[in-house]
Amino acid sequence: MIPVFDPYLGEEELNNVGDCVKRGVISGMMRGDYIGEFEKLASAGCETRHGVTTTSGTTALALAVASLGLGPSDEVLVPAITNIATAFAVVYSGAKPVFLDSENVTWNLDPDRIRERITPRTRAIIPVHIYGHPVDMDPVMTIAQEFGLYVIEDAAEAQGAEYRGRKVGGIGHVGCLSFYINKVITTGEGGMLVTNDEQIAERARFLKNLGYSSRDKFTHTDLAYNFRMTNLQAAVGVAQMHRIEEVIERKRRVAAMYTERLRNIPGLQLPVEQPWVKNVYWMYTIILRDDMPDRQHVRDYLADEGIETRNFFHPLHKQPVFLKMNIVSETDSLPVSENLGRRGFYLPSSPLLDEPTIDLICEKLRKALNSG
């Protein structure tokens, strides 16, 4: 089986973990020396001054929402095409996610569709750099400033990507990263909040650590969380940060090889790289146009050939959980997101894929498309 993903790990990760174990420095708090180093490296990679490690991308987002003081009676704009975690992080706080449609070229939120969803309750927007392609941030920041909204960038799929020469995650007020196994870099599980705002960073450090205060440790003034990453995970993260440029180069090479082989198939819509961005091609995702065979047929064909694929995100305004919670209604319609959700899927996208394997995948895909 050619899996959709394999992580790129090596000696340095192994040595760092061994170092933690030998010294007994493994927790998320006591003398966790790799944690600070990892926060420094990854926040610098986003061109931000502060990094706060967490247990996952989901908890980094929840921590961002909590640190900005969002809660019941607030609305937060979230794209319909994203991992469910983006919206869950909002719902945990009691705030309501309001879903935005995508544009059809990069599949990111459509900046022209933001204003119509803003109400007097809107307090924040979470642009998600989907599949590694940066959101068009200039119009997002302009609208946010006009309406006094916080901008939380969900950069879980796009660590290292660039928008007009700036690293994603560092453009809004807060950025969130994920280090789940299939993300750009990994710590197994893990996440990070990055920001240039010292007050937000301080609030995040306080809230992620059960609200222990420095002066009187066991007196608590706020409802807080344990979102502490362990030193073991950070030890892997430090090693991963030393190879992130190589990982991104490999991912870009994989994408270029796919695009070269697939661009002449008229029924396929492929990932793009707008001239003003650097895409990190988190997963190589394709959309089957109208005249193509059914997606399930194509995916089944590839599975029979030993090629694993995975569906595009199911749009969040159609998720049963949000229907049940009355966050959305049956009649809500975001046509671009729904079309992508029905027709998109991604191909194996490991940074370790070699050219003969990509040749094979593309050849089988051609056959699958002609077999419908």
Ligand X SMILES: *Cc1c(COP(=O)(O)O)cnc(C)c1O
Q: Does 58 bind ligand X (CB under 6 A)?
A: yes
Q: Does 175 bind ligand X (CB under 6 A)?
A: no
Q: Does 80 bind ligand X (CB under 6 A)?
A: no
Pick one of 74, 157, 273, 338: the residue that binds ligand X (CB under 6 A): 157
Give the number of C-alpha atoms closer than 13 A to the C-alpha of residue 72, restricted to the C-beta side: 0
Pick one of 74, 101, 154, 273: the residue that binds ligand X (CB under 6 A): 154
In angstroms, what is the minimal distance from the CB of 200 to ligand X?
Answer: 19
Q: Does 240 bind ligand X (CB under 6 A)?
A: no
User: What's the CA gap between 167 and 164, in Å, rounded?
Assistant: 8
**Between the CA of residue 17 and those of 24, 187, 303, what are the distances in Å?**
10, 11, 36
Pick one of 178, 285, 319, 349: the residue that binds ligand X (CB under 6 A): 178
**154 vs 273, beta carbon nearer ligand X:** 154
- Which of 329, 330, 327 has its CA nearest to residue 94? 327
H/E element, 315: none
User: What's the CA gap between 21 and 30, in Å, rounded?
Assistant: 13
Is residue 49 a contact partner of residue 198, using CB atoms and an 8 Å limit? yes
Pick one of 35, 80, 81, 85: the residue that binds ligand X (CB under 6 A): 85
**34 vs 180, beta carbon nearer ligand X:** 180
Q: Specify the stretch interacting with ligand X by CB under 6 A; choose among 44-52, 142-150, 151-159, 270-278.
A: 151-159
**204 vs 262, beta carbon nearer ligand X:** 204
Three-state secondary-structure class, residue 151? strand
Closest residue to ligand X using C-beta atoms: 57
**109 vs 368, beta carbon nearer ligand X:** 109
- 338: tokens are 């729904």
Binders in 305-344 for ligand X, by CB under 6 A: none
**Between the CA of residue 91 and those of 102, 175, 227, what are the distances in Å?**
21, 18, 17
Pick one of 43, 48, 86, 285: the residue that binds ligand X (CB under 6 A): 86
**251 vs 364, beta carbon nearer ligand X:** 251
Q: Does 156 bind ligand X (CB under 6 A)?
A: yes
Applying CB under 6 A, the site for ligand X has a residue count of 14
103: Cβ contacts below 8 Å, ≥ 6 apart:
109, 110, 111, 112, 336
Give ∠ CA 299-258-351 in degrees, rounded to 5.
90
**157 vs 273, beta carbon nearer ligand X:** 157
Pick one of 191, 271, 315, 341: the residue that binds ligand X (CB under 6 A): 191
Tokens 């340095």 sit on residue: 12
- Which of 160, 136, 350 has its CA nearest to residue 255? 350
Q: Specify the stretch interacting with ligand X by CB under 6 A; choose among 3-11, 54-62, 199-207, 283-291.
A: 54-62
Contacts to ligand X by CB under 6 A:
56-58, 82-83, 85-86, 128, 154, 156-157, 178, 180, 191
